[in-house]
Amino acid sequence: MAQPIVNTYETYDAKGLREELSNIISMITPSETPFLAAIGTRKVNSVHPEWQTDVLATPDTTNNRPEGSDWSFQPITPTTRVGNYTQISDKRIIVSGTLDEVAKAGRGRELAREVIKKSKELRIDREVIALSNQASSAGSGDGATNRTSAGLRAWIATNDDMGAGGASGGFNAGTGVVDAATNGTQRAFTKTLLDNGIAAAYTAGGEVDTIMGAPYPKRVFSTFMSDANVATQRYVTPKSGQTKIVGAADTYESDFGELAFVVNRQMARAGALVARNIFLMDTSKLAIGELRPTNVYDVAKTGDAEKKALLCEWTLIVENEASQAVIADVFGLTAAS
């Protein structure tokens, strides 16, 4: 449509119009770290914290002795010494002096904003590494290789329900490190897999309280309400207002106790290698060991820029891996991935 009046002066013609930039910076990237929040931290004092595990003998169904018998003594099994290595994780920031000084929308000093942002990113890094299949490593001198902390997937060997062709990792007494697991063929997450995992951890002595997985397995979990062996849920229709459609479940009343399903969006953000595992956790037996908690360090000024570094040194402590279980190699992002 043409202008109703010729030579109307428009914004397209004018010069010197002010720009409009909102003073709000919108960021919706998830920053929560439910695994770290659930297990807490404890102080460690070396780069290789160790602890001991022990087991009771299998019940002896033939434990009966004749009258007057003399004793022969059973061998005593020593404790098992296990451990993990601390790893150093950091984030680095450099901002020019000019950028930090000029007027900006949505923030005052660029450096201060980046410190807050990087601290969240560093915590998220620790979250996904602690849940990953990363093996532990003692590293080597002169920076040739770095120390690494084994992730929870690598630790779990006793109650490891994996896909075809998979193999458990776990603590290797011969080398003193935790080996990574070998991934198997991916398969669908089912109620049977869940029940088997909970039962395995319970039989071994664990007290599983939390199921943790990526968003897609959580959606699958909610479909377990339709299983023939699950009690039908009933809700009273309200006298006024609309009826609620219930299409989700957050808690599982298993044969061995009540468990909460905690959705971890960081597992999906980390990708298929982390999202393919669902953890059945006894959180009382897990902790983050901190040799150096996260600190912000001033880095020596060498030019016209301000520098900061955020650094922590930490490891995952799994007091007894048999208290945990993993349903490995499930489709964790979609029905086919």
* pLDDT given at position 122: 96
* pLDDT given at position 12: 84
* pLDDT given at position 233: 67
* pLDDT given at position 238: 73
CB 279, CB 321: distance < 8 Å: no
CB 189, CB 211: distance < 8 Å: no
Rounded CA separation 279/326 (Å): 5
Alpha helix (H) residue ranges in the chain: 34-39, 97-101, 110-131, 152-155, 191-204, 215-222, 265-270, 272-275
Rounded CA separation 230/209 (Å): 20
Q: Residue 328 is encoded by which pair of tokens?
A: 């490995």
Comparing CA positions, the residue from 203, 160, 172 lying closest to residue 330 is 160
pLDDT one digit per residue (tens) for the chain, 337 residues? 677 778 777 878 888 888 877 777 777 888 999 999 999 999 999 999 999 999 999 999 999 999 999 999 999 999 999 999 999 999 999 999 888 888 777 787 888 889 999 999 999 999 999 999 999 999 998 889 999 999 999 999 999 999 999 999 999 999 999 999 999 999 999 999 999 999 999 999 999 999 999 999 999 999 997 776 776 666 677 777 777 777 788 899 999 999 999 999 999 999 999 999 999 999 999 999 999 999 999 999 999 999 999 999 999 999 999 999 999 999 999 999 9
* pLDDT given at position 228: 67
